[in-house]
Amino acid sequence: CMTRNYTFNIVQHNVTRLCHTKSIVSINGRFPGPRIVAREGDQLLVKVVNHVSNNITIHWHGIRQIRSGWADGPAYVTQCPIQTEQTYTYNFTITGQRGTLFWHAHISWMRATLYGPIIILPKRNESYPFRKPYKEVPIIFGEWWNADPEAVINQALQTGGGPNVSDAYTINGFPGPLYNCSSKDTFRLKVKPGKTYMLRLINAAMNDELFFSIANHTVIIVEADAVYIKPFQTDVVMITPGQTTNVLLKTKPYYPNATFLMAARPYFTGQGTFDNSTVAGILEYEHPLNHTFNTKKMVFKPTLPPLNATTLVANFTRKFRSLNNPNFTASVPQTVDKQFYFTLGLGSSPCPKNTTCQGPNGTKFAASVNNVSFALPTTALLQAYISKKSNGVYTTDFPTNPPSPFNYTGTPPNNTLVSNATRLVALPFNTSVELVLQDTSILGAENHPLHLHGFNFFVVGQGFGNYNPTQDPANFNLVDPVERNTFGVPAGGWVAIRFLADNPGVWFMHCHFDVHTSWGLRMAWIVMDGPLPSQKLPPPPSDLPEC
C-alpha cells in the first residue's frame, strides 16, 4: 500500500459548450475534473486549495471513510466549507473497496461542474472475479447549464419554485452530436475488434436518472457502487445520480463499416418540466492503416426505453445480486437491532410573509423525510457532536416513523406538517439497522435515489404500493441482496435496506437529486464510538476549516 498525493486547485476556467462560453468553477482548469486512481488499501491525501469566491467542500462519494469521517466532505455535516484562499487536505485510506466511485463538490449546486472519477484498482496481488479487460474507460454523465447553476438553485429557493432544467446532458463533459452546435464536442471511444473493454459508468448528473445504451452492442454488468455483483447481460443500463456501474463491452470480432452511437437520456416518472434530450458519444473501431470500405460508413443509434419505463426499471434493478463470495463481498446482517420507517415526500411549506412563492398554490416547495424538512446548520454537525456543543445546533429526536400512518388508499399525510428542523438519529456503535423507505408520491410521483454516506447498505426488499410490515419481510432477500451506497426508491413504492452502524461519525443521507436535497429531503445519523480504541473516531485534523 502507498500514499497518493493530489492537489486540487479550485480555479475559474472558461469552457465552451452549445456555442456558449462561460467561466466555470473547476479543479486545476479541467472539466470534468481529474481522475483519482488508487489501489485498495492506499492512503489518499488530496490538498484542496480554494482560489474562487464560492465556498467549497469535496465529497468522495461511496468511499466508506472508516474512522476518517472528517474527510467525508458534506458541507455543514462533517465540515465547514473551505473558504476563499483556504486549504484543507482530505486524508483517508481506502479500506475493503475496489471498483468505480466518484468525487464531487458537496455544497449547494457546486457539483454541477466539480466532479470526476475515482478508480480503485484491486490490491497488487489480487485480480478481478472476471477476465482482466483489455482497457478500462471511465464514462461520466453530467449536466450542462448555460446559466450559472448556483444562480439557478438560489433563484428557485428564494421564490419557492422549481429550478430551471439543464441545457444538456454530457458524457465526459461533452453534450455530443444530437444537440445544436455541439457535434465537435463529442466523446469518442476508439476500440479494437475482438477485445473486452470495461466501461466505468458514473452518473454525476444533478437531477436525472439515465438510461444508457450502445447501438448494436450489449454489455455485461459486473459491479455496482464499487461492489462486485453476479454478472448479467443487458442492452440498456439504468443508472441513478450517485450510482456507479462497471460494465464489460465485448467488441465485434471484425471491423464494422459503421460508427455506433452510445447514448443516454432520462428515466422520469414525475410530471412537470424536464429535459428529455439525448446525450451521445461515438464508439468507433480503429481500422488498420490503409483499410478502406467501398460503401458509405453507416451510423447506428441505440433504441432507448420510453421516458417512464417503470416496469423495465423495476425488472432491471431486481437483477442486481451480490456476488456473495466472502473473498470479495460482505454479508447482509441477519438480525436487526433497530427498525425505522421513513416516508420520503415532496410537499410544500407556507410562503414567508411579504413574499410571492411560485410553488403549488402559492406555497414554497419543501421535501421531507417523515415530514421533517432537514435544515442545514451554520456550523458542522460533526464538530458540534465531538465538542459536545449540540445545543442550538441539532437534536437527536429524528422520528422513527412518520407523524401519521401513511396509506396510499387513505388520506395522504398533511403537507402542513412539514417542519424545518435539524433532527438526527443517534445510533450506538454496531447497531444493525433496518430502514424502510416509502415514497409518498405527493406532488408528483418521483423516484428518490437515496444515498447514504459512510456505509454500503443491502437492498433486502422492494415493492410498489404500501410497505406491509406483516407480510413483506417474509420475502426479504437475506442471501444475496445487492450492496450499494445509492438506490432508487421507486415512485409510489418502497425499498427496505439494512446496514451495520460500525463506522463512528456523523453521516448524511439524502436524495441524490440535488433539487430534492435542496428542498430538504435529507437527514443525518450519528454513529457513536465503540468501547475499543479501534472503534473510535480520531480527533479532528488541525487544518479542518472553521465556519
Provide DSSP, 249-280.
EEPPSS--SEEEEEEEEEE--S-S------EE
Residue 253 phi, psi dihedral angles, 5° rounding: -75, 0
Instruction: State which residue, 104 or 200, has the beta carbon closest to ligand C2O.
Output: 104
- Min dist CB 59 to ligand C2O, Å, is 5
Nearest of 129, 44, 60 to residue 100 by alpha carbon: 60
Residue with cell 414567508: 352
Gap between the Cα atoms of 332 and 433, Å rounded? 11
Shortest distance, position 452 Cβ to ligand C2O, whole Å: 9
Q: Residue 422, exposed/middle/buried by CB under 10 A (0-12, 13-18, 19+)?
A: buried
Which lies closer to ligand C2O via its Cβ, residue 110 or residue 168? 110
Indicate the helix (H) or strand (E) that contains 228.
Answer: strand 227-234
Question: How many chain residues are in contact with ligand C2O, going by CB under 6 A?
Answer: 11
Work out which of 453, 484, 498, 516 binds ligand C2O, going by CB under 6 A: 453
Between 202 and 459, whose beta carbon lies closer to ligand C2O? 202
Instruction: State which of residues 64, 98, 104, 364 lies at the interface with ligand C2O (CB under 6 A).
Output: 104
Find the binder of ligand C2O among 69, 74, 117, 504 (CB under 6 A): 74
CB of 62 to ligand C2O, least distance (A): 8
The footprint of ligand C2O on residues 48-67 (CB under 6 A) is 59, 61
Residues in 216-275 that interact with ligand C2O by CB under 6 A: 242
- Tell me the C-alpha distance between 497 and 495, whole Å: 7
List binders of ligand C2O among 186-205 (CB under 6 A): none
For residue 74, the minimal CB distance to ligand C2O (Å) is 5
**Please, are residues 23 and 184 in contact by the beta-carbon 8 Å criterion?**
no
Does 451 interact with ligand C2O (rule: CB under 6 A)?
yes
Nearest partner of 143 among 58, 236, 24, judged by Cα? 24
User: What sign for the dihedral angle of Cα 68, 71, 74, 76?
Assistant: positive
- Looking at beta carbons only, is 104 or 498 nearer to ligand C2O? 104
Q: Kindly tell me which of 120 and 304 has the beta carbon lying closer to ligand C2O.
A: 120
Cα separation of 248 and 246, whole Å? 7
For the window 388-407, what string marks contact with ligand C2O as x by the rule CB under 6 A? --------------------
* Least Cβ distance, residue 290 to ligand C2O (angstroms): 48
User: 55: part of which helix (H) or strand (E)?
Assistant: none
> Does residue 448 bind ligand C2O (CB under 6 A)?
no
Q: Are 363 and 350 in contact (CB under 8 A)?
A: yes
Decide whether 73 or 360 has the Cβ nearer to ligand C2O: 73
Binders of ligand C2O among 474-533, rule CB under 6 A? 508, 510, 512
Residue 106 lies near ligand C2O (rule: CB under 6 A): yes
Cell of 228: 462486485
CB burial class (10 A; 0-12, 13-18, 19+) of residue 271?
exposed
Q: Please state the closest distance from residue 106 (CB atom) to ligand C2O, in A.
A: 6
Shortest distance, position 238 Cβ to ligand C2O, whole Å: 18
Distance CA(47)–CA(401), nearest Å, equals 41
Question: What is the spatial distance between Cα 70 and Cα 460, in angstroms, rounded to a whole number?
Answer: 30
- Cβ-closest position to ligand C2O: 61
Smallest separation, CB 109 to ligand C2O (Å): 12
Q: Which residue, 76 or 179, has its beta carbon nearer to ligand C2O?
A: 76
Q: Please say which residue, 241 or 305, places its beta carbon nearer to ligand C2O.
A: 241
For the CB of residue 525, give the shortest distance to ligand C2O in the complex, in Å.
13
Closest approach, Cβ 206 to ligand C2O, in A, equals 11
Q: What does residue 432 show for φ and ψ, rounded to 5 degrees?
A: -90, 115
> Residue 224 has what DSSP assignment?
E
Closer CB to ligand C2O, 142 or 242, in the complex:
242
What count of residues does the chain have?
Answer: 547
- 323 Cβ partners below 8 Å, 6+ apart? 129, 227, 228, 229, 230, 329, 480
| Least Cβ distance, residue 355 to ligand C2O (angstroms) | 29
Contact 65, 368 (CB under 8 A): no
**φ, ψ at 165 (rounded to 5°):** -80, 165
- Comparison of 89 and 517: residue with beta carbon closer to ligand C2O: 517
Instruction: Kindly list the residues in this chain that would bind ligand C2O in the complex (CB under 6 A).
Output: 59, 61, 74, 104, 106, 242, 451, 453, 508, 510, 512
